[in-house]
Amino acid sequence: MEDIGIISYGAHIPRYRIKISDIAKVWGKDPDTITNGLGIIEKTVPSPDQDVATISVTAARAALLRCVINPQDIGAVYVGSESHPYAVKPTGTIVGEAINATPILKVADYEFACKAGTAAMQTCFSMVKSDMIKYGLAIGADTSQAAPGDALEYAASAGGAAFLIGKEKVIATINETCSFTTDTPDFWRREGSRYPAHGGRFTGGPAYFRHIISNAQILLEKMGTKPSDYSYAIFHQPNGKFPLNVAKMLGFTKEQIKQGLLCPVVGNTYSGATMIGLASVLDVAKPNDRIFLTSYGSGAGSDAFDLTVTDQIKKLEKNKAPLMSEMIKNKEYIDYATYAKFRNLLQLE
Amino acid sequence: MRDVAVIGIGLTKFGELWDKSFRQLIAEAGSKAILDSGVSGGDIDAMYVGSMSSGRFVGQEHIGALVADAAGFSHLHIPATRVEGACASGSLAVREGYLSIAAGVNDIVVAGGIEKMNDVSGTAATETLATAADQEWESFFGVTFPGLYAMIARKHMHDYGTTKRQLAQVSVKNHFNGARNPYAQYQKEIKIETVLNSAMVADPLGLFDCSPVTDGAASVILCEAKKAKKYCKEPIKIIGSGQGSDTLSLHGRDDICTLGSTVHAAKMAYKQAKIKPKDISVAEVHDCFTIAEILAIEDLGFVKKGEGGKAVENKITTLDGELPVNTSGGLKAKGHPVGATGVAQIVEIVKQLRGEADKRQVKNANIGLAHNVGGSGATAVVHILEAL
Amino acid sequence: MLDGVARFWREIPQRYNLIGNRCGSCERTYFPPRETCPYCRRKSLGKMKEIKLSGKGKILTYTIIYVSPEEFSNQAPYPIAIIKLDEGPKLTAQIVDCKIKDVKIGMRVQSTFRKIQQDGNIGAIYYGYKFKPCRGKK
């Protein structure tokens, strides 16, 4: 059986940060209660000239800098997000043009709340497996909007990652992927509506936990593995607490999820969340490390992946693009007023 | 090539002229010039008018014909042409008129310039002025017109040690002169602190480093030199006329701190006039921003490259200095109705050479120079005049 | 107001990928691409070759725009610079990911992909190049 998997990867998070405590103070909440309760210290904020297209292009270009392929050999680009710049006109074509992969290229934009990016990965994986394409580029990125004063405002942030999938010089083999999907309305945004709405505590048990746990158990059974067989585990991270809880419930340890848990210092990058978590893991992973990734998208569904890092990872020129740790350190704080201006919270006529 | 002289001049007040329309302004400047010249309407062979953007400011193109009509000449059916070169449109109109007489095609020509900038919002005016820059590769990316000159200023400060204070002195000097010019938009002297503390527009240029948005018109009557004395007591001869071009974008220039178009236009004019820079008694130069005046006195050859700031500091260019520059108040204090500026500069030089500059009179002024620039230097026009 | 989109679509290769061209006669590099080389003129007709620029260069001069066009008002004040690319051509662009006080003449910069403008809330979005400080010592 051929090795099919990730050939290269790239990620991007914006430079600006706002402290969760600063947001809490604006709404008259106790900063410590919020910060500790959510397990988030600060989150990324996109500047007015950044959006899902620019983040996707930056992540994609980072992936291509790290390996040596002809971009014309990329057969498909799929971008998953819930904050695509256009409601109609794909982000994927902008990315395709910006990485010189056009015009012989299959493109579509994906949407499934926070798991749109991992769905794109599954599609690229299957297209490479069926020999329809040589390389596929799967991107998950978001600059998600949250209503001012809503609980989501503490977490909704911006960022994304891109994964180049193929058969040659694979750095992380995708051993298996599976999904668990139901019609569960835990979090949504209606057409024409500016901000998402959600079911409060309903987003926990019946939504996030049910789908991740069910899907993870299916994958473990399919692979005949136990949590301790994995070096790293990455779970969707809407806040800093849920992934800790779900890991414990499944039998994974804090050490296993640490490298891939970025929410406390980055926030929830929605379609980028598990993707940048995986990028962070690949930044440090060694050959033969086994990775367990389970994403979650409201509405609802989960995609799980079992990956094994290969020797090829040593040959990848990782330092040609910034590592997650470098991007996390490279930051500039802004206050709530600037945040409101950048995020267009002030309605201008 | 025949010789050409200016036999009449006309000017409207420059400022926010709410009561005056585009047509009224050009008619006023034109009729004043014709009265001053002693010619009658029927003597005029052709009209040339400069306006940077009548289309965007008042929604009107085809203004060559409009100006002839507004002046009452439409039944004479004379040729009437609009000329455009951004902020150099006015002097280009004069040059086209001059060339037509020098070449023997016309004997008497009206050359005018007009801009009516206050009928649109401040934002719209700024955006229209930005069309003088490279729209695709400069304006599109967020640089403003003041931003372009600010980048020149920053480089000049970096390479030659020019200071913000020296830039401010240009503004103070021009306001001093403007206070003595009844046609100027600003009639008050200002203190250097006002300039240094003014609100930032594009670092290092503040509000008082920038010329204002202005309405106004100016006009000159040009005549074949031999015929000139028939109409006018004191014709002022154009002894040199030069024009130069350069890349539209500032980034395309060979040297950001040198306007190659000015150097070329000046060389042309000096050569034709058979004089050197030191022979100039008084000059009107294009100070759309304070740094532009410093660049101008260098590129026109009055001082060495890089020494413009020091020259201003040493008061060489004040009203009673070695070489008075912008006795009218310059674009800064007189105002800058874009298309009219080039013509208004020539009007001031003619006044100086005729001895009619009143409180701004430069003693023994016998050769004057007018320098007009389009955009950030893509076009430049230089005229040198001498009392006959 | 919906501007014509063709004008900005045409320049996507330049704005996204810094595609310039090189004179086949004298090897001078141009950005944006030119129909002919100003130095070789007719000798260069039909000999201009497309070339992708690296996006690396240094700041020749800059300003901080305080009074900006309307489309840029939520970013003001912002730095704009004239940048000399390593291959020779110069261009004008915004500097991003850098504190205003850290922008300097001579600073090494590299291109990055950002939103430049948009045609109101219903018109098209135009992406292109801005420049950020080079990573490390490059």
Asked if the Cβ–Cβ distance from C66 to B199 is below 8 Å, we say: yes
Q: Which residues of C touch A48 (CB under 8 A)?
A: 74-75, 115
Indicate if B132-211+239-387 has the same CATH topology as B4-121+214-236: yes
- Asked if C135 reaches chain A (Cβ–Cβ under 8 Å), the answer is yes
Asked if the Cβ–Cβ distance from C125 to A86 is below 8 Å, we say: yes
Structure tokens belonging to residue B156:
């000049």
Residue from A105, A138, A122 nearest A219 by CA = A122
Task: State residue C2's pLDDT score.
Answer: 58
**Whole-angstrom distance, CA of residue B108 vs CA of residue B14:** 26
Task: State residue A1's pLDDT score.
Answer: 60
The per-residue pLDDT for range A64-80, each reduced to its tens digit, is 999 999 999 999 999 99
Contact at 8 Å (CB) between B285 and B310?
no
Q: Confidence band (pLDDT; 50, 70, 90) for B352?
A: very high
**Mean pLDDT of chain B, nearest integer:** 96
The per-residue pLDDT for range A21-37, each reduced to its tens digit, is 999 999 999 999 999 99
| C interface test, pick of A49, A100, A333, A341 with most C CB neighbours within 10 Å | A49
Enter the CATH code of domain B132-211+239-387.
3.40.47.10
The per-residue pLDDT for range B4-36, each reduced to its tens digit, is 999 999 999 999 999 999 999 999 999 999 999
Q: Is B232 noted as a catalytic residue in this protein?
A: no
**Whole-angstrom distance, CA of residue A9 vs CA of residue A172:** 10
Residues A179 and A144 in one domain: no
The pairing of strands C19-23 and B379-387 is: unpaired
Asked if the Cβ–Cβ distance from B152 to C61 is below 8 Å, we say: yes
Asked if the Cβ–Cβ distance from B144 to C128 is below 8 Å, we say: no
Q: Which residues of B touch C116 (CB under 8 A)?
A: 140-142
**Whole-angstrom distance, CA of residue B363 vs CA of residue B365:** 6
Nearest to B147 among C60, C65, C116 (CB): C65
- Residue A221's CB is within 10 A of a number of other CB atoms, namely 10
Asked if the Cβ–Cβ distance from A58 to C113 is below 8 Å, we say: yes
Residues of chain B with pLDDT > 90: what percent?
Answer: 96
C-alpha B18: how far from chain center: 23
Structure tokens belonging to residue B383:
């005229």
CA-based nearest distance A267→chain C, Å: 20
Residues of chain C with pLDDT > 70: what percent?
Answer: 96
Q: Which residues of C touch A332 (CB under 8 A)?
A: 99
Q: Which residues of A touch C120 (CB under 8 A)?
A: none
Q: What is the per-residue DSSP string for B271-329?
A: HHHT--GGG-SEEE---SBHHHHHHHHHHTTSS-TT-HHHHHHTTTTSTTSSS-B-TT-
Q: Is residue A233 predicted with pLDDT exceeding 70?
A: yes
C-alpha B96: how far from chain center: 15
Nearest CA in chain C to B158: C105
- Asked if A3 reaches chain C (Cβ–Cβ under 8 Å), the answer is no
Asked if the Cβ–Cβ distance from C80 to B126 is below 8 Å, we say: no
Counting one residue from chain A and one from chain C, the pairs whose CB atoms sit within 8 A come to: 48
Task: State residue C137's pLDDT score.
Answer: 54
| A interface test, pick of C8, C14, C74 with most A CB neighbours within 10 Å | C74
Task: State residue B195's pLDDT score.
Answer: 97
Structure tokens belonging to residue B316:
């060489």
Residue A348 is assigned to a structural domain of this protein: no
Q: Which residues of A touch C16 (CB under 8 A)?
A: 97-98
The per-residue pLDDT for range C103-119, each reduced to its tens digit, is 999 999 999 999 999 99
Task: State residue C135's pLDDT score.
Answer: 85
Asked if the Cβ–Cβ distance from B155 to C66 is below 8 Å, we say: no
Q: Which range of residues forms the domain containing residue A271? A: 174-312
Asked if the Cβ–Cβ distance from C113 to A57 is below 8 Å, we say: yes
Rounded average pLDDT over C116-125: 91
Q: Which residues of B touch C81 (CB under 8 A)?
A: 151
Architecture of the domain delimited by C1-10+54-138: Beta Barrel (2.40)
The per-residue pLDDT for range B212-249, each reduced to its tens digit, is 999 999 999 999 999 999 998 899 999 999 999 999 99
CA-based nearest distance C36→chain A, Å: 25
Helix crossing, A52-66 with A91-98: angle to 10°? 40
**Whole-angstrom distance, CA of residue B210 vs CA of residue A199:** 57
Structure tokens belonging to residue A25:
């103070």
Counting one residue from chain B and one from chain C, the pairs whose CB atoms sit within 8 A come to: 95
Q: What type of residue is A201?
A: R
Asked if the Cβ–Cβ distance from A49 to C130 is below 8 Å, we say: yes
Residues A187 and A63 in one domain: no
Rounded average pLDDT over A200-209: 94
Classify domain B4-121+214-236 at the CATH class level.
alpha beta
Residues A145 and A210 in one domain: no
Task: State residue A349's pLDDT score.
Answer: 56
Catalytic residues of A: 82, 114, 236
In chain B, domain spans: 4-121+214-236, 132-211+239-387
- Asked if A111 reaches chain C (Cβ–Cβ under 8 Å), the answer is no
Q: Is residue B370 predicted with pLDDT exceeding 90?
A: yes
Choose, from B175, B336, B371, B383, the residue flagged as catalytic.
B336
Nearest to C105 among B140, B153, B158 (CB): B158
- Asked if C125 reaches chain A (Cβ–Cβ under 8 Å), the answer is yes
Asked if the Cβ–Cβ distance from C113 to A54 is below 8 Å, we say: yes
Distance between first and last Cα of chain C: 43
Q: Is B32 helix (H, G, I), strand (E, B) or coil?
A: helix
The per-residue pLDDT for range B250-299, each reduced to its tens digit, is 999 999 999 999 999 999 999 999 999 999 999 999 999 999 999 999 99
Structure tokens belonging to residue B190:
């200002």
Rounded average pLDDT over A86-103: 97
Choose, from B87, B223, B232, B288, the residue flagged as catalytic.
B87
Q: Confidence band (pLDDT; 50, 70, 90) for B65?
A: very high
C52: left (phi over 0), alpha (psi -120 to 50) or beta: beta
Residues A270 and A334 in one domain: no
Count of structural domains, chain A: 2
The CATH number of whichever domain residue A258 belongs to comes to 3.40.47.10
Q: Which helix (H) or strand (E) element contains residue B22?
A: helix B22-37
Asked if the Cβ–Cβ distance from B141 to C94 is below 8 Å, we say: yes
The per-residue pLDDT for range B171-181, each reduced to its tens digit, is 999 999 999 99
Q: Which residues of C touch B155 (CB under 8 A)?
A: 60-61, 105
Q: Which residues of B touch C68 (CB under 8 A)?
A: 142, 144
Q: Which residues of C touch B154 (CB under 8 A)?
A: 61-63, 105
Nearest CA in chain A to C75: A48
Asked if the Cβ–Cβ distance from A48 to C130 is below 8 Å, we say: no
Task: State residue B361's pLDDT score.
Answer: 97
Q: Confidence band (pLDDT; 50, 70, 90) for C138?
A: very low
Distance (Å) of CA C91 to CA A33, B137, C23, C52, C78: 50, 7, 18, 15, 17
- Asked if C100 reaches chain A (Cβ–Cβ under 8 Å), the answer is no
- Asked if C127 reaches chain A (Cβ–Cβ under 8 Å), the answer is yes
Q: What type of residue is C98?
A: C
Task: State residue A79's pLDDT score.
Answer: 98
| ipTM confidence score | 0.94
- Residue B323 burial (C-beta neighbours within 10 Å; 0-12, 13-18, 19+): buried
Task: State residue B233's pLDDT score.
Answer: 86
Q: Is residue B317 predicted with pLDDT exceeding 60?
A: yes
Asked if the Cβ–Cβ distance from A322 to C97 is below 8 Å, we say: no
Residue from B274, B273, B281 nearest B361 by CA = B281
Distance (Å) of CA A127 to CA A82, A99, A130, A141: 23, 20, 5, 21
Q: Which helix (H) or strand (E) element contains residue A137?
A: strand A135-143
Residues A184 and A296 in one domain: yes
Q: Which residues of A touch C114 (CB under 8 A)?
A: 49-50, 54
Asked if the Cβ–Cβ distance from A94 to C116 is below 8 Å, we say: no
Residues of chain A with pLDDT > 70: what percent?
Answer: 99
**Whole-angstrom distance, CA of residue C123 vs CA of residue C1:** 8
CA-based nearest distance B51→chain C, Å: 23
| B interface test, pick of C11, C92, C94, C95 with most B CB neighbours within 10 Å | C92
Asked if the Cβ–Cβ distance from B155 to C94 is below 8 Å, we say: no
| C interface test, pick of B56, B134, B139, B141 with most C CB neighbours within 10 Å | B141
Q: Which residues of A touch C8 (CB under 8 A)?
A: none
Residues A178 and A109 in one domain: no
Among A173-177, B168-172, C40-44, C105-109, whose mean pLDDT is lowest? C40-44
The secondary structure of residue B130, as a DSSP letter, is: G
| Residue A9: strand pairing partners | A163
